[in-house]
Amino acid sequence: MFEIYQSESTKKFHFRLKAGNGEIILTGQGYKDKGGCENGVDSVKTNGTDESKFEIKEAKDGRHYFVLKAGNGQIIGQSQMYKSESGLKNGIASVGKNCTTDKIKDLT
């Protein structure tokens, strides 16, 4: 399920994709308006099933995370930090499994 929410501090709109167990598996950037955020959700739906759109990155502390990119190379969303490679790969698979949902909860 996708959730759309607005940051109280920045007033920007964000989305997050949750797995069936409620865990957040992908978080989007901040958007000035809700329409841009909804377009971000649509982009996740379009690109989230294509493993070539994921890029694995390493944080300064050595943990890994992934980003999902659109066809133009722009980052759509980012995962949490993972301690293991298997957890990271499971996260990518979970995005692919859950991104096609039509469930969008609007928290704004």
Question: How much is the pLDDT for 102?
Answer: 92
Alpha-carbon gap, residue 28 to 83, rounded angstroms? 21
| pLDDT given at position 97 | 96
Q: What is the pLDDT of residue 67?
A: 98
Which pLDDT score is estimated for 101?
93
pLDDT at 106: 96
Extract the residue ranges of the chain whose pLDDT is less than 50. none
Walk me through the domains of the chain, giving residue ranges and CATH numbers: 2-106 (2.30.29.80)
DSSP-derived letter for residue 21 is T
pLDDT reported for residue 105: 96
Alpha helices in the chain (DSSP H): 34-47, 85-98
Describe the chain by its helix, strand, coil percentages, rounded to 5. Answer: 30, 35, 40
How high is the pLDDT of residue 31?
96
pLDDT of residue 30: 94
Torsion over CA: 13, 41, 27, 98 (sign):
positive
- pTM, two decimals, is 0.91
